């Protein structure tokens, strides 16, 4: 083997070893990551077991339709109708796993159709949020609170957070390029070991920026 080829081979082996060590967090990369994948969250609902029993029948178990981006979470075959003072939206899909409190997530466009005024909130923070009625095949639930517009957020593992130079609950901006370019601000970083790297936006944001959910967007520290 010629010296030139031997050196080239050693260089490639060295690169592969370094990348593998970085992958397992045995050494840290000097290059900060900058881009995140984006997913579009259409209107959906998370249910408590109490409300599953009312809407679908006592002891009903949710059934999987398909997996979604976060590990252990999935879209269900079960659907409900949302009813507000001004209108209804049918076939709103339930997501699993079961939650301690029922939470309805809609876009602002949905809220106008329903005639409700939900606040922009982080998932799980439903105290004092908008009331709404849920209609299932077996019963009706009238929520006094629980309807929100989900904040823009990015799921990350602790390793991802270190790679991007951010921490849990930090607010960042995200740059969108293309025909409807712009910047999305007040994006919340959410860090947990069981998360998969993914930015979640609702359908209104997706339409405003011309996104289809296959893009990689650039994170900007505020």
Task: Looking at the structure, tell me whether residues 142 and 161 fall in a common domain.
Answer: no
C-alpha to C-alpha distance for 28 and 125, rounded to whole angstroms? 35
In 3D space, the residue among 122, 119, 100, 76 whose CA is nearest the CA of residue 132 turns out to be 119
Cα angle 79, 83, 84; round to 5: 150
Question: What would the mean pLDDT of 71-78 be, rounded to a whole number?
Answer: 96
Using CA atoms, how far residue 188 sits from 24, 80, 90, 153, in Å, is 26, 29, 30, 4
- State the chain's mean pLDDT as an integer: 91
C-alpha to C-alpha distance for 6 and 15, rounded to whole angstroms? 14
Residue 9: band (very low, low, confident or very high) from pLDDT cuts 50, 70, 90? confident
Residue 21: band (very low, low, confident or very high) from pLDDT cuts 50, 70, 90? low
Residue 4 has pLDDT above 80, yes or no: no
Task: Looking at the structure, tell me whether residues 138 and 217 fall in a common domain.
Answer: no
Is the dihedral angle over the CA atoms 192, 194, 198, 202 positive or is it negative? Answer: negative
- Percent helix, strand and coil across the chain, each rounded to 5? 25, 40, 40
Give the domain CATH number at 196.
2.40.40.20
| Predicted pLDDT of residue 31 | 67
Q: How many domains does the chain have?
A: 3
Query: Which residues 6+ apart lie within 8 Å of 177 measured at CB?
Result: 218
The pTM score is 0.83
Q: Given 108, 123, 150, which residue is the final one in a domain? A: 150
Task: Looking at the structure, tell me whether residues 97 and 126 fall in a common domain.
Answer: yes
Residue 18 has pLDDT above 70, yes or no: no
Residue 221: band (very low, low, confident or very high) from pLDDT cuts 50, 70, 90? confident
| Predicted pLDDT of residue 73 | 95
* Domain extent for 9: 1-30
Residue 15 has pLDDT above 60, yes or no: no
Residue 117 has pLDDT above 70, yes or no: yes
Task: Looking at the structure, tell me whether residues 79 and 171 fall in a common domain.
Answer: no
Query: Do β-strands 44-46 and 103-105 pair in parallel, antiparallel, or remain unpaired?
Result: antiparallel
Task: Looking at the structure, tell me whether residues 140 and 207 fall in a common domain.
Answer: no
Task: Looking at the structure, tell me whether residues 47 and 145 fall in a common domain.
Answer: yes
Of 27 and 210, the structure prediction assigns the larger pLDDT to 210
Task: Looking at the structure, tell me whether residues 92 and 47 fall in a common domain.
Answer: yes
Task: Looking at the structure, tell me whether residues 161 and 63 fall in a common domain.
Answer: no
Q: Given 111, 129, 150, which residue is the final one in a domain? A: 150
Whether the CB-CB separation of 84 and 133 falls below 8 Å is answered with yes
Task: Looking at the structure, tell me whether residues 127 and 208 fall in a common domain.
Answer: no
| Predicted pLDDT of residue 32 | 83
Task: Convert the pLDDT of each residue in 154-165 to its tens digit.
Answer: 999 999 999 999
Residue 1 has pLDDT above 90, yes or no: no
Residue 79: band (very low, low, confident or very high) from pLDDT cuts 50, 70, 90? very high
């Amino acid at each position: 083997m010629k010296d030139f080829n031997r050196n080239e081979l050693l260089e490639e082996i060295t690169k592969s070893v370094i990348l593998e060590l970085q992958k397992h967090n045995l050494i840290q990369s000097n290059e900060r990551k900058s881009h995140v994948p984006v997913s579009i969250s259409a209107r959906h609902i998370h249910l408590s077991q109490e409300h599953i029993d009312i809407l679908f029948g006592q002891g009903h178990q949710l059934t999987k339709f398909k997996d979604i981006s976060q590990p252990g979470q999935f879209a269900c075959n079960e659907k409900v109708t949302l009813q507000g003072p001004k209108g209804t939206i049918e076939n709103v899909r339930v997501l699993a796993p079961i939650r301690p409190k029922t939470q309805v997530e809609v876009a602002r466009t949905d809220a106008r159709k329903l005639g409700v005024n939900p606040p922009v909130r982080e998932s799980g923070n439903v105290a004092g949020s908008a009331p709404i009625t849920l209609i299932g095949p077996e019963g009706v639930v009238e929520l006094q609170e629980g309807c929100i517009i989900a904040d823009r957020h990015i799921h990350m593992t602790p390793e991802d957070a270190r790679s991007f130079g951010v921490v849990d609950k930090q607010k960042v901006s995200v740059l969108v390029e293309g025909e409807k370019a712009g910047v999305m601000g007040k994006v919340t970083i959410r860090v947990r070991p069981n998360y998969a790297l993914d930015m979640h936006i609702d359908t209104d944001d997706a339409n405003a920026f011309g996104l289809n959910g296959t893009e990689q967007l650039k994170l900007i520290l505020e």
